[in-house]
Structure formats: structure tokens, C-alpha cells
Amino acid sequence: MSLVSARMDAPHIDENPFFVLDLPIDCGAMDIERAGQKLLAMLKVGMKDAASYRTPLGPRQRDEDAVRRAMAALREPQARAMAEFWARPEVWEPVHETRLPVWSDAHKRLGTLDR
């Protein structure tokens, strides 16, 4: 499979749950509930303050669906870990090396060498 077709599954920086909920990456479970519920309520009554959020790529429109998706993602440890690195600014800093990818410890990771 081409790597690029995996782009369809790639989480976008502009849908990052931490940006959608306007929360720091070290927030707790209750912070997520509180922020999410508050935003849902504000969106429901049409408050302008809740209608957009900031991302490193500029402001984005916020809707109830994005908030619910963000809350669900941050409740799930694996999805949260993914969201954490996307939320860090260094992820988007360009890397200038031009070396080709090299063979790594893949077999060890697979568990085929450590048996």
C-alpha cells in the first residue's frame, strides 16, 4: 500500500482534540469532561465565543460533532497519545536531513529475534 493513501486516516492538526477543546496536553479526565460539556452547551445556544478555536495552522470552525469526537478521542489512551504528539509544536517543525530511511530494529520489535 502506498504510504500516501494512509493520509486518509491521518489525524489533521486542525482536528487535534487538545486544540478543539482548548486544553493543555497534561489535562486530566475530569478537565476533558468539563471543557467538553461547557463547549457543547455554548455551541448549543449559539455563543460566538465557542464557534472557533486556534491551531498552529490558524483558526478553525468548531462544531458539536468535533467536540464530541475530541472528548471520545481523549478518553481512549492510544488515541490520546497520538493526539499528544500532534499537539506539540515541534512535530510540525521541518527536518532537513535528506538521508534515506535505514533498516532498524524491526525484527526485534516484532519479537522474532528475542525468542
Residues whose CB is less than 8 angstroms from the CB of residue 8 and which lie 6 or more positions away in sequence, other chains included: none
Write each residue from 16 to 35 as x if it is in contact with other proteins (CB under 8 A), else as -, in one continuous string: ------------xxx--xx-
* Residue 52 in the binding site for other proteins (CB under 8 A): no
Asked if 80 and 32 touch (Cβ cutoff 8 Å), the reply is: no
Instruction: Report how far Cα 51 is from the mean position of its chain's Cα atoms.
Output: 19
Name which position in 24, 26, 48, 61 contacts other proteins (CB under 8 A). Answer: 48
* Residue 71 in the binding site for other proteins (CB under 8 A): yes
- Within 13 Å, how many C-alpha atoms sit on residue 5's CB side? 2
d(CA 6, CA 47): 36
Radius of gyration of the chain (CA): 18
Min. distance of Cβ 4 from other proteins in angstroms?
Answer: 6
Site for other proteins in 81-100 (CB under 8 A): 81-82, 84-85, 88, 90-91, 94-99
Q: Which residues bind other proteins (CB under 8 A)?
A: 1-11, 28-30, 33-34, 37-38, 40-42, 44-48, 65, 68-69, 71-72, 75-76, 78, 81-82, 84-85, 88, 90-91, 94-99, 101-106, 109-111
